[in-house]
Chain A
């Protein structure tokens, strides 16, 4: 369970505590004819307990002492004096004082224990994450590097013995490996930017149709059919173009990498008022139902999925989308294939013409 936290500065916590005690005392004072001072003591104790759940130890201790003083001064006979008459009232007052203090201390102790537990859990998670990271990295980075080193060794050492065809093939392998490496590094850099919280959104007016065409033009989709019919009458939207390019690019790249050849990948965009929706769907094999909730997790890879990924593409797409205050959703289509839906809140402008003569 997450501890309730109220992030106020100590001064504000103190002021709020004192105010709460004053208000509770004021209300109790108004009903002083029907409330005995014992009942008022319980009500005040309740107020202090609530404060102890929400606030730090120092303001709560001060509130506890203050409430005891108010109890004595206003409610315990003789009222408006600091005197207490009779052993019963004295005992009552002392017990109130001690119980309020214990209350404050105990709450604080529980809160600290919870904090430590949370920290330990986080630490364990981080270690697990790094294990996965290193496993995934050592494989996904070393494979293309091995290819490059191996191919160049062959090219350098057997200069005279290799046929022209083999030479050409090796050079192509080097090229493929280099591009693969480049993509991995880009994903890793994006992920660390996201994790380090150093992203700054740069909103700029964007034509979504143009952006999607640009992304498609940069893809290597020889074996797949990509279909995009630009939406007419689309407004300009104000968004971080570079991030959105990464989001859509990653989803398309993912579809190309993990669906069989000749799969049809469709892109559809629509904007309504302050929302834009981008749908990317394919008629491939879709995702096994029990993996759908995990595919956006960092380093998650489907069992038996094709080589060449780090399991970062989709989590970056999700991270960037959420960073832009949007949502990303994955579902399987009825007749097979996956469907990703991105919804983004945007400022849009339907202004498409200026008169300037």
Chain B
């Protein structure tokens, strides 16, 4: 298998160095760009398998760069940010970022995010049967098995877990989930979402108060892992 190529766009030489070493020692090929202009032209010349994009670039706002990329680039873009402002992260995710990491981050976490983002981008969406973790979800029969046992779910609970399973490892914003499950106009009804996630956890999690599968990302959304 070819090594996946990752384009790192960050103006801080130290961060680029660190990313280069940790990614190369994990068998990725690394291309570096020091600003948005360079990043956009490198990517256009030779589209990488994944982009690590710093939100605070000197020549252009990260959100604008993200929008420009998303006009033609459909592979994963993971946002790196020093701003721990959830609104900012939610905005980036809404503009098409695949995931995010706030600096300082652990290398293990970075690699896990990259692996899961690349895996999702390779998987086509034509699967009718999703197997992840202890779960097996049949999208045609609309059934869910946990450890091989069928579990009884309501319609909405099923829709939720199917959405989560299709996006395994990826953070999903509240607004995105609400729009996907309940449709336009429900984006602010986070209470619905909490209640249904709570119900679903009661059925899936060993300890619903300390969940292992459906993880809350404070102020941002949920991550199924």
Asked if A202 meets B219 with Cβ closer than 8 Å, knowing A217-B210, A352-B198, A353-B195, the reply is yes
Interface residues on B, range: 20 to 34
Chain A contacts for B198, CB-based, 8 A: 207, 236, 352
A220 sits at the interface (CB 8 A): no
Further pairs besides A214-B216, A241-B218, A241-B219: 15, Cβ < 8 Å? A178-B104, A182-B104, A205-B190, A205-B191, A205-B194, A207-B209, A210-B209, A230-B209, A242-B86, A352-B198, A352-B199, A354-B156, A354-B196, A355-B154, A357-B155
B183 sits at the interface (CB 8 A): no
B13 sits at the interface (CB 8 A): no
Number of A residues, CB within 8 Å of B: 26
Q: Is the interface of A mostly helix, strand, loop or mixed?
A: mixed
Chain B contacts for A349, CB-based, 8 A: 191
Chain A contacts for B154, CB-based, 8 A: 355-357
Q: Give the shortest distance, in Å, between B109 (CB) and chain A (any CB).
A: 12
Complex alpha-carbon distance, A236 and B199, angstroms: 13
Interface string of A320-357 (1 = CB under 8 A from B): 00000000000000000000000000000101111111
A209 sits at the interface (CB 8 A): yes
Q: Give the shortest distance, in Å, between B93 (CB) and chain A (any CB).
A: 16
A266 sits at the interface (CB 8 A): no
A297 sits at the interface (CB 8 A): no
**Can you show 19 pairs from A to B with CB atoms below 8 A apart?**
A178-B104, A205-B190, A205-B191, A207-B198, A207-B216, A210-B209, A211-B216, A213-B209, A213-B210, A230-B209, A236-B198, A241-B219, A242-B218, A245-B218, A349-B191, A352-B199, A354-B199, A356-B157, A357-B155
Q: Give the shortest distance, in Å, between B179 (CB) and chain A (any CB).
A: 17
A274 sits at the interface (CB 8 A): no
Are the C-beta atoms of B195 and A352 separated by less than 8 Å?
yes
Using a CB–CB distance below 8 Å, which chain A residues touch chain B? 178, 182, 202, 204-207, 209-211, 213-214, 217, 230, 236, 241-242, 245, 349, 351-357
Are the C-beta atoms of A210 and B104 separated by less than 8 Å?
no
B150 sits at the interface (CB 8 A): no
Q: Give the shortest distance, in Å, between B156 (CB) and chain A (any CB).
A: 4
A215, closest chain B residue (CB): B218
Complex alpha-carbon distance, A128 and B45, angstroms: 58
B 140-173 contacts with A by CB, 8 A: 154-157
Are the C-beta atoms of A210 and B218 separated by less than 8 Å?
no
Interface string of B80-123 (1 = CB under 8 A from A): 00000011000000000000000010000000000000000000
Question: Quick one: which of B87, B156, B191 contacts A236, CB cutoff 8 A?
Answer: B191
Complex alpha-carbon distance, A236 and B196, angstroms: 12
Are the C-beta atoms of B194 and A202 separated by less than 8 Å?
no
Are the C-beta atoms of A236 and B216 separated by less than 8 Å?
no
Chain A contacts for B219, CB-based, 8 A: 202, 204, 241-242
Chain B contacts for A205, CB-based, 8 A: 190-191, 194
| Closest 3 pairs between A and B when the two form their complex, measured CB to CB | A213-B210, A209-B209, A230-B209
Complex alpha-carbon distance, A354 and B199, angstroms: 9
Question: Quick one: which of A214, A236, A245 contacts B195, CB cutoff 8 A?
Answer: A236
Q: Give the shortest distance, in Å, between B129 (CB) and chain A (any CB).
A: 24
